[in-house]
Amino acid sequence: MLLKLSELVLRDLERLAWIEALDTGKPITTARNDIKVLARYFEYYGGAADKVLGDVIPFEPGYSVKVVREPHGVTAHIIPWNYPVQMLGRSIAPALAMGNACVVKPAEDASLSSLEVAVLALEAGFPAGALNVVTGWGAQAGAALSAHPGVNYISFTGSPRVGALVQQAAALNSVPVCLELGGKSPQLVFADADLDRAATTVVKAITQNTGQTCSAGSRVLVERSIFDSFMRKVAAGFEQLRIGVPEEDADLGPVINARQRQTVERYVAQAEQDGIALLGRAPLRDELRKQGHFVAPAVFGPVPADHPLAQEEVFGPVLAALVFDTEDEAVALANNTPYGLAAGIWTRDGDRFARLANRLVTGQCFINCYGAGGGVELPFGGTKRSGHGREKGLLALDEMSTTKTIVHFHG
């Protein structure tokens, strides 16, 4: 049924992409890509569903012991608005593969694609009740779902503040929770790196989806000897970005709503007020300023390590550049936020990237690349305030199931 659902999503790709683009403001090419990723989630976990094995455990003479995987039962999935269908697929595909019945609470700003996918699930043959979508405000529908005694597992993707509320509600029912929260992910750039490739990736990692990506590369830490020259390349990248409505298919669209725009503008205003140099900014047409929640991507630096722009998640296209002298200092800066979701290392020195990959406190570490969440196949999730639990890859099948140990005495 998951494989069939994957086919149906691809059949309806164009319609689903426009629904997603119009609901979120994404450029249409980005929305099309999101729908392809959704199909890939259903394909990947549909393919995995009949390959989940148990264990046989050697025990005392006369006993046979096996461990089998079982579904949690009813799983709740509270998802955000930044990548509505990608988050939906990431969460429900492994849950359905393991035999759970899912109740989804999409974000109030972007519920349409979840509803469409639920209709397609019926066409794919899922029985009524296997995939349910409950729309509504977070504080009402989301809170009710988190506290519901009939729910056996909760997957939450969103802000740390709401994640804590969900975990508290789940604790009262002794229900396990997977929390995918925010990040302040660093990219470490050393003088010996391929600086052109690094600069292009650094720009993309903070501006794709208008910076509304939990694993956005929102900090770039640059070795002092190349700070000015490297940041000129990054600034040039910002200045070339095109911003527009979905049908213009620009590099980025608006942020999701007025509140998010105000948040981004507040961080930018604070950086300017505190005298941090603006290194580059994308041009934003006047008519866009007036017509929607558009913000101009901007890069500031050097940003002091304790400044809010270097510590807090903006969730918009604003990059904080920091400077370091030594490898130790780079590691200390990289680990010096409450978060630990993703990190990038740019160097040609193999010993150095091996050392750094060990020392960075992060759920994913990219070397001479940056995946902003990586592929469907790659386990993903946070450390520290970025959350706990793992999604994506085969590990998600463990996350979305529990075990039963069966002990048989036969003499």
Residues that bind ligand NAD (CB under 6 A): 78-82, 105, 107-108, 138-139, 142-143, 146, 157-159, 162, 165-166, 180-182, 214, 313, 315
Q: Please, is 128 exposed, middle or buried when counting C-beta atoms within 10 Å of its C-beta (0-12, 13-18, 19+)?
A: exposed
Question: Which token pair is 336?
Answer: 């010096």
Q: C-beta of 289: minimal distance to ligand NAD in Å?
A: 23
339: left (phi over 0), alpha (psi -120 to 50) or beta: beta
Question: Collapsing DSSP states into helix, strand and coil, what is residue 134?
Answer: coil
Q: C-beta of 259: minimal distance to ligand NAD in Å?
A: 8
Q: C-beta of 403: minimal distance to ligand NAD in Å?
A: 25
Which long-range contacts does 365-371 make (Cβ < 8 Å, 24+ apart)? 366/342, 368/193, 368/194, 368/197, 368/198, 369/201, 369/344, 370/187, 370/201, 370/202, 370/204, 370/205, 370/217, 370/342, 370/344, 371/215, 371/342
Q: C-beta of 32: minimal distance to ligand NAD in Å?
A: 20
Closer of 29 and 257 to ligand NAD (Cβ): 257
For residue 243, the 8-state DSSP code is B
Question: Which token pair is 197?
Answer: 């490739």
Q: Please, is 351 exposed, middle or buried when counting C-beta atoms within 10 Å of its C-beta (0-12, 13-18, 19+)?
A: exposed
Task: Give the largest Cα separation in the chain, rounded.
Answer: 82
CB count in 10 Å sphere of residue 50:
7
Closer of 79 and 124 to ligand NAD (Cβ): 79
> Among the options 178, 214, 313, 399, which is catalytic?
214
Closer of 10 and 147 to ligand NAD (Cβ): 147
Q: C-beta of 411: minimal distance to ligand NAD in Å?
A: 51
> Among the options 20, 43, 180, 399, which is catalytic?
180
369 as an active site residue: the answer is no
Closer of 179 and 193 to ligand NAD (Cβ): 179
Closer of 100 and 111 to ligand NAD (Cβ): 111
Question: Which token pair is 110?
Answer: 């972007």
The residues annotated as belonging to the active site are: 180, 214
